[in-house]
């Protein structure tokens, strides 16, 4: 069995659900209470991709921001890929994601990433529409609808990214 270790960063505006997604993925838990992240929280999760291959993901859950700061940039060092998170109920977080993706690419070069349209359990309140995301879909962005509350799309997103890192 081959075990690889890969660093993945969680990036996105504040309160989009980055910490909750990690909590769901690593501990299968979810809390309704919002607790803002300061700095970065590090977690690990071992996932088995096949009989011969497993990957230990080192998850860097970075404090939310709508732009890349010097501090955030220092956290990106050595990342193999990243998860870009958007709150479907807040349209501005989609604009933040577009800006962040461009800034991360400028900083680290092209790295594999998945974009999670989160809070799918509140779909009736979504402001992020298929029309809005269409240009990025055309560019080849991997968009996955997710919910940290129900677990929808969470495992799928991390596993998909892990495969991209092999």
Partner 1 sequence: MILIPISIAKYVRSLWMAEMVLTYLHVDRNGILVSWGGYPKHYGLGSLATGKSASEQVSFLEGLLPIDHTEVLEFVSTSAGRSAHVHLLPFRGGTWVLFFDASTEHDRQQKIQQQANELSLLTYRQSQLIQELEHARQMLIAEKQQLEDSSQLKTRFIADLSHELRTPLASIAGYTRLLDDAERKNDEHTSDYLNTIQTSTQHLLSLIDNILEQSKIEMGQVVLAPRACDLKKLLKDLKALFLPHANEKGLTLEVKAENLPVQVMIDELRLRQILINLVTNALKFTEKGTVTLTLRWQADQLNLSVTDTGLGISEEGQQKIFQAFHRETKTQGTPGAGLGLAISYHLIKMMGGTLRVLSKLGKGSQFFTTIQAPSIYATRSEVIPTERHHEPASSSIDNIKGSKVLLVEDALFLHKLFEICLSESGYEVISAYNGEEALLLIDERQPDIVITDMLMPVLNGYDFVKQLRAKNYTQPIIALSASNLEEDKQFARQIGCNAYLSKPVEPRLLLQTIHKLLKETMA
Residues that bind partner 1 (CB under 8 A): 5-7, 14-15, 34-36, 38-44, 56, 58, 60, 63-64, 71, 74-75, 77-80, 90, 92
Give the CA distances from residue 28 to residues 23, 37, 73, in Å, rounded to whole numbers and listed in that order: 6, 19, 29
Whichever of 23 and 153 has its CB closer to partner 1, that residue is 23
Q: How far is the CB of 42 from partner 1 (least distance, A)?
A: 5
Q: How far is the CB of 114 from partner 1 (least distance, A)?
A: 19
Q: Write the CB contacts of 47 (distance below 8 Å, at least 6 apart in sequence).
A: 54, 55, 57, 158, 159, 162
Whichever of 36 and 139 has its CB closer to partner 1, that residue is 36
Q: How far is the CB of 76 from partner 1 (least distance, A)?
A: 10
Whichever of 86 and 144 has its CB closer to partner 1, that residue is 86
DSSP state of 101: H
How far apart (Å, rounded) are the C-alpha atoms in residues 63 and 13?
Answer: 8
How far apart (Å, rounded) are the C-alpha atoms in residues 43 and 58?
Answer: 6
How far apart (Å, rounded) are the C-alpha atoms in residues 18 and 76?
Answer: 15
Q: How far is the CB of 35 from partner 1 (least distance, A)?
A: 7
Whichever of 4 and 152 has its CB closer to partner 1, that residue is 4
């Amino acid at each position: 069995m081959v075990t690889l270790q890969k660093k993945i960063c969680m990036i996105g505006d504040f309160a989009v659900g980055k910490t909750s997604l990690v909590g769901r993925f690593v501990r299968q838990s979810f809390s309704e209470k919002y607790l803002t992240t300061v700095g970065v929280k590090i977690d690990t999760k071992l996932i088995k991709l096949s009989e011969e291959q497993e990957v230990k993901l080192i998850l860097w859950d970075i404090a939310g921001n709508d732009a890349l700061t010097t501090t955030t940039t220092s956290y990106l060092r050595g990342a193999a890929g990243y998860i870009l998170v958007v709150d479907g109920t807040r349209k501005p977080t989609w604009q933040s994601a577009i800006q962040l993706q461009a800034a991360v690419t400028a900083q680290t070069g092209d790295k594999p990433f998945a974009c999670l349209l989160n809070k799918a359990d509140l779909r009736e309140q979504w402001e992020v529409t298929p029309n809005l995301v269409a240009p990025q879909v055309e560019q080849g962005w991997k968009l996955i609808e997710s919910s940290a509350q129900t677990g929808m799309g969470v495992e799928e997103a991390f596993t998909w990214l892990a495969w991209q890192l092999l």
